[in-house]
Structure 1
Amino acid sequence: MHRILLAFFFVIFVFSSSVSAREEVLVFAASSMTTALSEIVEVYQRKTGNKVTVSYASSSALARQLAYGAPADIYISANEKWMDYSVEQGVIEENTVMPWLENQLVFISGKDVRTLPALDDKTLIEVIGKSRLAISDPGHVPAGIYAKESLETMGLWGSVKNKLALSNSVRATMALVERGEAPLGIVYFSDAKASSRVKVTAKIPDSAHSPIVFPKALTKGASKNAEQFFRFMDSDVATKIVASNGFVVMQMKKEQ
């Protein structure tokens, strides 16, 4: 009887905690959204008084957490593949999925590294030297997938594939360059803009990789507050914030 009562109170406690937590909006967002989305959240909370919490990580890690039952309200992925995966897992309201932002891929370096005069094998190897090229893991992280695709398209993959410093997110990749642990890295343009410790040494042609699209969606069972914040992300003020952080808003692009 004692065990039954303990189990009963435990279930009540978990249910109450879950309901309380759901009053706050929980967003799962790709780590490359950190700077822009944090600004949007700050403005939204100031305007509405509603609380929004964001968990930043690689798109793949977040998608898997959702599939395992994590109670997030909104998911923002750095590519469409992991959004499709989340839809297939039955955790996303499919009719809310929308392509939101686009991004660009760039080479970055520390402030003391010269701008790359050319994107060829000789130049890359010369700059990398005995060190490594920092990229996100191309096995599952979108920025790494795009980076590998670009290097292959440009005929550079064979020269650098054994000289890579892999990380589990694009912000972790940038940190390797910021700390001087890698002389060069490949990140999104928006990430490069967010750091005063790196500079863009070369832009990778859009034709070298698949379109870099950041879709967003509501999860199944998302709260009313989540729907309100989801709409706010398309507001004029939010659009200005993401644009100032180096993203291209896809709706604006269509209207131009």
Structure 2
Amino acid sequence: MRHLIRTGLASLFLLAAATTARAQEITVFAAASLTDAMTQVAQSYATATGDTLQLSFASSSTLARQIAAGAPADLYISANQKWMTWLADQDLIAANSRHDLLANALVLIAPADSNLAPITINSQTDLTKLIGDEDRIAVGDPDHVPAGIYARQALENLGQWDAIEPRLARADNVRAALALVERGEAPLGIVYATDAAIATDVKIIATFPENSHPAITYPVAITTGQANPAAVKLLAWLLGDDAGTIFAEYGFNRPATSPKTQ
């Protein structure tokens, strides 16, 4: 894998000028579900290199649109392929810099004090029977938030979307959906496994079958015009073992497939 990463980044290093000794400031736009992990990554990276990461977290769609509107991001980490491809289609992603960075899972959560027991989700599961007549299931907005898009795909594949769609509490991002369940404002929520792992006031009721939705992968790329030495160095570090250890501590896995470049 290290060989593939070195090969994929080689052209970027050729384009970049020699790195100076002066500490650099690098702006990273990252999906909201990466808030805790990337905050730790930034601290470790600053200690290791002296470079400072300026982090901006929001839904992947919001960040992609900001980049398209001219926001000065050096690196972008999306929670799905759709929004990275959307930027690539507009030539806003640097050539050969796109890689699949992380993998995640989709889970059903409830408040920690809920009397709901763990269940197995399949095509026979009726989630509406787990909530009251006036209750809602918290989820990132399926129209644009990656976690919500994955949730919709899973529910459609399980034949439940039509019944559940009117019962959703649509949040601006996955962390907002998590907060609704943490505060007890929603009896159920659909979030990433990593979000549930960092929350103290929720519990996992079930994990959605892997085959019910596309693989949850987080692509990373340098934005067009920002393939400078500092950004290239950070990208290589994110794909390496030091960052991988930190991501693993927050429940993220590396993708099963080789890194994707574009």
Pairwise same-fold verdict (TM > 0.5): yes
Name the TM-score, length of structure 1 as normaliser: 0.86
Q: State the alpha-carbon separation in 2 of the partners of residues 140 and 254 from structure 1.
A: 27
Map residues 123-142 of structure 1 onto 2, 5 A cutoff: 124-129=127-132, 130-142=134-146
RMSD: 1.9
Q: Which amino acid aligns with 2:94?
A: E
Structure 1, unaligned runs of 5 or more:
1-21
Alignment partner of 2:166: what SS?
coil
Alignment partner of 2:233: what SS?
helix
| Equivalent residue for 1:115, pick from 105, 114, 117 | 117
The alpha-carbon deviation at position 144 of structure 1 amounts to 0.5
Contact 1:92 1:217 in 2 (8 A): yes
Alignment partner of 2:219: what SS?
strand
The percent of aligned pairs where both chains have the same amino acid is 43
User: Mean alpha-carbon deviation: is it higher for 156-165 or for 207-216?
Assistant: 156-165
Matching residue of 1:161: 165
Q: State the alpha-carbon separation in 2 of the partners of residues 237 and 122 from structure 1.
A: 40
| Per-residue Cα deviation, 1:170-198 (whole angstroms, up to 9, x for no partner) | 11110110111101000011111111111
Q: State the alpha-carbon separation in 2 of the partners of residues 61 and 236 from structure 1.
A: 29
Matching residue of 1:55: 56
The yes-or-no answer on 1:247 pairing with 2:252 is yes
Alignment CA distance shift 1:207-1:188 (3 Å): same
The alpha-carbon deviation at position 92 of structure 1 amounts to 1.0
Q: State the alpha-carbon separation in 2 of the partners of residues 56 and 138 from structure 1.
A: 18
Contact 1:80 1:215 in 2 (8 A): yes
Q: State the alpha-carbon separation in 1 of the partners of residues 119 and 24 from structure 2.
A: 53
Alignment partner of 1:95: what SS?
coil
Matching residue of 1:93: 94
Q: State the alpha-carbon separation in 2 of the partners of residues 80 and 125 from structure 1.
A: 30
| Per-residue Cα deviation, 1:142-195 (whole angstroms, up to 9, x for no partner) | 110100110111122122111110011111110110111101000011111111
Alignment partner of 2:47: what SS?
helix
Matching residue of 2:82: 81
The yes-or-no answer on 1:39 pairing with 2:40 is yes
Q: State the alpha-carbon separation in 1 of the partners of residues 119 and 62 from structure 2.
A: 36
The yes-or-no answer on 1:105 pairing with 2:106 is yes
- Flag the structure with larger Rg: 1
Matching residue of 1:70: 71
The alpha-carbon deviation at position 116 of structure 1 amounts to 3.7
The alpha-carbon deviation at position 125 of structure 1 amounts to 2.2
The alpha-carbon deviation at position 115 of structure 1 amounts to 2.5
Matching residue of 2:209: 205
Matching residue of 1:220: 224
Matching residue of 1:196: 200
Between Structure 1 and Structure 2, the one with more helix by share is 1
Q: Which amino acid aligns with 2:129?
A: E
How many residues are matched? 233
Q: Which amino acid aligns with 1:72?
A: A
Name the TM-score, length of structure 2 as normaliser: 0.84
The alpha-carbon deviation at position 227 of structure 1 amounts to 1.5
Matching residue of 1:10: none
Q: State the alpha-carbon separation in 2 of the partners of residues 238 and 75 from structure 1.
A: 16
